[in-house]
Chain A
Protein backbone atom coordinates (compact mmCIF):
# COMPACT_ATOMS: atom_id res chain seq x y z
CA UNK A 1 0.00 0.00 0.00
CA UNK A 2 1.62 3.21 -1.17
CA UNK A 3 -1.33 5.50 -0.66
CA UNK A 4 -1.18 9.05 0.58
CA UNK A 5 -4.58 10.70 0.92
CA UNK A 6 -5.32 14.41 0.87
CA UNK A 7 -8.44 16.36 1.74
CA UNK A 8 -10.12 18.36 0.45
CA UNK A 9 -9.64 17.69 -3.25
CA UNK A 10 -10.61 21.27 -4.12
CA UNK A 11 -10.70 24.40 -1.97
CA UNK A 12 -11.79 27.92 -2.77
CA UNK A 13 -11.09 30.58 -0.16
CA UNK A 14 -11.06 34.32 0.22
CA UNK A 15 -8.02 36.29 1.29
CA UNK A 16 -9.37 36.73 4.82
CA UNK A 17 -10.31 33.09 5.37
CA UNK A 18 -8.57 30.50 7.51
CA UNK A 19 -8.55 26.97 6.15
CA UNK A 20 -6.54 23.79 6.55
CA UNK A 21 -5.30 21.08 4.22
CA UNK A 22 -4.98 17.55 5.54
CA UNK A 23 -2.70 14.71 4.52
CA UNK A 24 -2.65 11.15 5.84
CA UNK A 25 -0.53 8.07 5.25
CA UNK A 26 -0.52 4.65 6.91
CA UNK A 27 2.69 3.26 5.45
CA UNK A 28 4.69 3.85 8.61
CA UNK A 29 6.70 6.56 6.90
CA UNK A 30 8.41 8.95 9.30
CA UNK A 31 9.12 11.73 6.80
CA UNK A 32 6.34 13.87 5.33
CA UNK A 33 6.47 16.76 2.89
CA UNK A 34 4.44 19.65 1.52
CA UNK A 35 4.98 20.80 -2.05
CA UNK A 36 3.40 23.56 -4.10
CA UNK A 37 2.92 23.14 -7.84
CA UNK A 38 1.87 25.89 -10.21
CA UNK A 39 0.54 25.12 -13.68
CA UNK A 40 3.18 23.79 -16.09
CA UNK A 41 5.85 23.98 -13.38
CA UNK A 42 7.57 21.31 -11.30
CA UNK A 43 6.64 20.69 -7.67
CA UNK A 44 8.47 23.01 -5.29
CA UNK A 45 9.32 21.84 -1.79
CA UNK A 46 7.79 23.88 1.05
CA UNK A 47 8.29 21.89 4.26
CA UNK A 48 9.76 18.62 5.47
CA UNK A 49 8.85 16.86 8.70
CA UNK A 50 11.04 14.10 10.03
CA UNK A 51 9.81 12.12 13.04
CA UNK A 52 7.09 14.73 13.56
CA UNK A 53 9.61 17.56 13.77
CA UNK A 54 10.02 20.30 11.19
CA UNK A 55 13.39 19.75 9.54
CA UNK A 56 13.19 21.91 6.41
CA UNK A 57 11.33 25.16 5.80
CA UNK A 58 12.10 26.48 2.34
CA UNK A 59 11.60 30.13 3.36
CA UNK A 60 7.84 29.80 3.04
CA UNK A 61 5.75 32.86 4.07
CA UNK A 62 4.22 32.63 7.53
CA UNK A 63 0.70 32.64 6.08
CA UNK A 64 1.42 28.93 5.53
CA UNK A 65 1.72 27.07 8.82
CA UNK A 66 2.49 23.34 8.84
CA UNK A 67 1.64 20.96 11.65
CA UNK A 68 2.43 17.29 12.21
CA UNK A 69 0.16 16.06 15.04
CA UNK A 70 1.36 12.45 14.74
CA UNK A 71 3.37 10.18 12.47
CA UNK A 72 0.44 9.59 10.10
CA UNK A 73 -0.97 13.09 9.76
CA UNK A 74 0.28 16.30 8.25
CA UNK A 75 -1.69 19.54 8.12
CA UNK A 76 -1.12 22.81 6.34
CA UNK A 77 -2.92 25.76 7.93
CA UNK A 78 -3.68 28.65 5.60
CA UNK A 79 -4.40 32.23 6.64
CA UNK A 80 -4.55 35.52 4.75
CA UNK A 81 -3.46 33.97 1.47
CA UNK A 82 -2.96 35.90 -1.74
CA UNK A 83 -4.37 35.06 -5.18
CA UNK A 84 -0.86 34.10 -6.31
CA UNK A 85 -0.95 31.29 -3.73
CA UNK A 86 -3.49 29.50 -5.91
CA UNK A 87 -1.86 26.21 -6.89
CA UNK A 88 -1.92 22.45 -6.45
CA UNK A 89 -0.65 21.54 -2.98
CA UNK A 90 0.90 18.12 -2.82
CA UNK A 91 1.71 16.03 0.21
CA UNK A 92 4.29 13.25 0.09
CA UNK A 93 5.81 10.77 2.50
CA UNK A 94 8.84 8.52 2.60
CA UNK A 95 10.65 6.13 4.86
CA UNK A 96 13.19 7.98 6.92
CA UNK A 97 16.46 8.16 5.00
CA UNK A 98 14.86 7.05 1.73
CA UNK A 99 14.97 9.19 -1.38
CA UNK A 100 11.73 7.81 -2.78
CA UNK A 101 8.74 9.94 -1.93
CA UNK A 102 5.15 8.89 -2.48
CA UNK A 103 2.73 11.63 -3.38
CA UNK A 104 -0.93 12.18 -2.66
CA UNK A 105 -3.37 13.41 -5.32
CA UNK A 106 -3.12 17.00 -4.17
CA UNK A 107 -5.50 19.77 -3.15
CA UNK A 108 -6.36 22.28 -5.85
CA UNK A 109 -6.47 25.63 -4.02
CA UNK A 110 -8.00 28.77 -5.46
CA UNK A 111 -7.64 32.06 -3.57
CA UNK A 112 -10.09 34.75 -4.60
Chain B
Protein backbone atom coordinates (compact mmCIF):
# COMPACT_ATOMS: atom_id res chain seq x y z
CA UNK B 1 0.00 0.00 0.00
CA UNK B 2 1.84 3.05 -1.29
CA UNK B 3 0.63 6.09 0.60
CA UNK B 4 2.86 8.53 -1.27
CA UNK B 5 3.18 8.22 -5.02
CA UNK B 6 5.34 9.89 -7.61
CA UNK B 7 3.93 8.58 -10.84
CA UNK B 8 6.59 9.99 -13.14
CA UNK B 9 9.84 8.04 -12.81
CA UNK B 10 11.70 10.60 -14.89
CA UNK B 11 11.48 14.11 -16.28
CA UNK B 12 13.68 15.92 -18.77
CA UNK B 13 13.66 19.71 -19.21
CA UNK B 14 15.78 22.31 -20.92
CA UNK B 15 18.00 24.60 -18.89
CA UNK B 16 16.20 27.81 -17.99
CA UNK B 17 12.74 26.30 -18.29
CA UNK B 18 10.41 25.28 -15.46
CA UNK B 19 10.57 21.80 -13.91
CA UNK B 20 7.37 20.52 -12.32
CA UNK B 21 7.55 17.42 -10.18
CA UNK B 22 4.33 15.88 -8.91
CA UNK B 23 3.39 13.84 -5.87
CA UNK B 24 0.08 12.32 -4.77
CA UNK B 25 -0.86 10.92 -1.39
CA UNK B 26 -3.72 8.80 -0.13
CA UNK B 27 -3.68 9.32 3.64
CA UNK B 28 -5.73 12.39 4.58
CA UNK B 29 -4.04 12.39 8.00
CA UNK B 30 -0.77 13.59 6.48
CA UNK B 31 -0.30 17.22 7.42
CA UNK B 32 3.32 17.98 6.58
CA UNK B 33 5.14 17.43 3.32
CA UNK B 34 8.79 17.68 2.34
CA UNK B 35 10.87 17.50 -0.80
CA UNK B 36 14.35 16.02 -0.84
CA UNK B 37 16.95 15.95 -3.59
CA UNK B 38 19.38 13.06 -3.92
CA UNK B 39 22.55 12.79 -5.96
CA UNK B 40 24.07 9.36 -6.61
CA UNK B 41 26.17 8.03 -3.72
CA UNK B 42 24.93 10.80 -1.40
CA UNK B 43 22.21 11.04 1.21
CA UNK B 44 18.99 12.96 0.51
CA UNK B 45 19.25 16.73 0.96
CA UNK B 46 16.29 18.64 2.35
CA UNK B 47 14.93 21.19 -0.12
CA UNK B 48 11.63 22.65 0.99
CA UNK B 49 8.58 21.74 3.03
CA UNK B 50 4.97 22.77 3.47
CA UNK B 51 2.42 22.45 6.23
CA UNK B 52 -1.16 21.50 5.42
CA UNK B 53 -2.36 24.89 6.69
CA UNK B 54 -0.67 26.49 3.68
CA UNK B 55 -1.13 25.98 -0.03
CA UNK B 56 2.17 27.44 -1.19
CA UNK B 57 5.70 27.82 0.09
CA UNK B 58 8.52 29.46 -1.79
CA UNK B 59 12.28 29.42 -1.31
CA UNK B 60 14.34 30.96 -4.06
CA UNK B 61 13.94 28.96 -7.25
CA UNK B 62 11.85 26.30 -5.48
CA UNK B 63 8.12 26.53 -4.84
CA UNK B 64 5.91 23.82 -3.42
CA UNK B 65 2.16 23.86 -4.01
CA UNK B 66 -0.30 21.82 -1.96
CA UNK B 67 -3.83 20.95 -3.05
CA UNK B 68 -5.40 19.21 -0.07
CA UNK B 69 -8.69 18.43 -1.73
CA UNK B 70 -6.89 16.61 -4.52
CA UNK B 71 -4.26 15.16 -2.15
CA UNK B 72 -1.64 16.45 -4.53
CA UNK B 73 1.53 18.47 -4.20
CA UNK B 74 4.01 19.70 -6.73
CA UNK B 75 7.50 21.14 -6.73
CA UNK B 76 8.30 23.88 -9.22
CA UNK B 77 11.89 24.72 -10.04
CA UNK B 78 12.40 27.83 -12.08
CA UNK B 79 14.67 28.47 -13.81
CA UNK B 80 16.01 24.91 -13.98
CA UNK B 81 19.78 24.48 -13.96
CA UNK B 82 21.94 21.50 -14.97
CA UNK B 83 23.01 21.15 -11.32
CA UNK B 84 19.39 20.41 -10.44
CA UNK B 85 19.71 17.04 -12.19
CA UNK B 86 19.08 14.51 -9.41
CA UNK B 87 16.41 12.23 -7.97
CA UNK B 88 13.66 14.11 -6.17
CA UNK B 89 11.66 12.47 -3.39
CA UNK B 90 8.53 13.81 -1.81
CA UNK B 91 7.80 12.70 1.74
CA UNK B 92 4.84 13.01 4.07
CA UNK B 93 4.27 12.88 7.78
CA UNK B 94 1.46 13.39 10.28
CA UNK B 95 1.11 15.15 13.61
CA UNK B 96 2.16 13.11 16.58
CA UNK B 97 4.32 10.98 14.37
CA UNK B 98 7.01 13.43 13.37
CA UNK B 99 9.61 10.69 13.35
CA UNK B 100 8.05 8.82 10.49
CA UNK B 101 8.49 10.10 6.96
CA UNK B 102 6.79 8.19 4.17
CA UNK B 103 8.67 8.65 0.90
CA UNK B 104 7.47 8.47 -2.67
CA UNK B 105 9.34 6.40 -5.24
CA UNK B 106 11.27 9.38 -6.57
CA UNK B 107 11.46 11.22 -9.89
CA UNK B 108 14.74 11.51 -11.76
CA UNK B 109 15.10 15.01 -13.16
CA UNK B 110 17.49 15.70 -16.00
CA UNK B 111 18.13 19.31 -16.93
CA UNK B 112 19.77 19.59 -20.32
CA UNK B 113 22.14 22.49 -21.07
Residues of A within 8 A of B (CB): 2, 4, 6, 31, 33, 40-45, 48, 50, 55-56, 90, 92, 94, 97-106, 108
Bound-state Cα–Cα, A6 to B105, Å? 24
Chain A residue numbers with a CB within 8 Å of B105 are: 41-42
Give the distance in Å from the alpha carbon of A102 to the alpha carbon of B37 in the complex. Answer: 12
B93 close to chain A: CB less than 8 A:
yes
The answer to whether the Cβ of B62 comes within 8 Å of any Cβ in the partner chain is no
A105 to B43, CA, bound (A): 4
Known: A99-B49, A99-B93, A100-B49. A48 touches B99 (CB 8 A): yes
Interface contact B101-A45, CB-CB below 8 Å: yes
Q: Which of chain B's residues have a CB closer than 8 A to the CB of A97?
A: 98
Q: In the complex, are the beta carbons of A42 and B49 less than 8 A apart?
A: no
What are 23 A-B interface contacts by the 8 Å CB criterion?
A33-B99, A42-B105, A43-B44, A43-B101, A45-B101, A48-B99, A56-B99, A94-B98, A94-B99, A97-B98, A98-B98, A99-B49, A99-B93, A99-B98, A99-B101, A100-B46, A100-B49, A102-B46, A103-B36, A103-B46, A105-B41, A105-B43, A106-B42
Size of the B side of the interface (Cβ < 8 Å), in residues, is: 20
Q: Is the interface of A mostly helix, strand, loop or mixed?
A: strand
Smallest beta-carbon distance A49→chain B, Å: 9
Is B25's CB within 8 Å of the partner chain A?
A: no
Residues of B within 8 A of A56 (CB): 99-100
In the complex, how many angstroms separate the beta carbon of A74 from the nearest chain B beta carbon? 13
Q: Is the CB of A90 within 8 A of B100?
A: no
CB-defined contacts of B98 to chain A, threshold 8 Å: 31, 94, 97-99
Question: How far does the alpha carbon of A98 sit from the alpha carbon of B100 in the complex, in Å?
Answer: 11
Query: What 18 additional pairs, Cβ within 8 angstroms, besides A43-B101, A99-B98?
Result: A6-B43, A41-B105, A43-B44, A43-B103, A45-B99, A50-B99, A90-B44, A92-B43, A94-B99, A97-B98, A98-B98, A99-B34, A99-B49, A103-B36, A103-B44, A106-B41, A106-B42, A106-B43
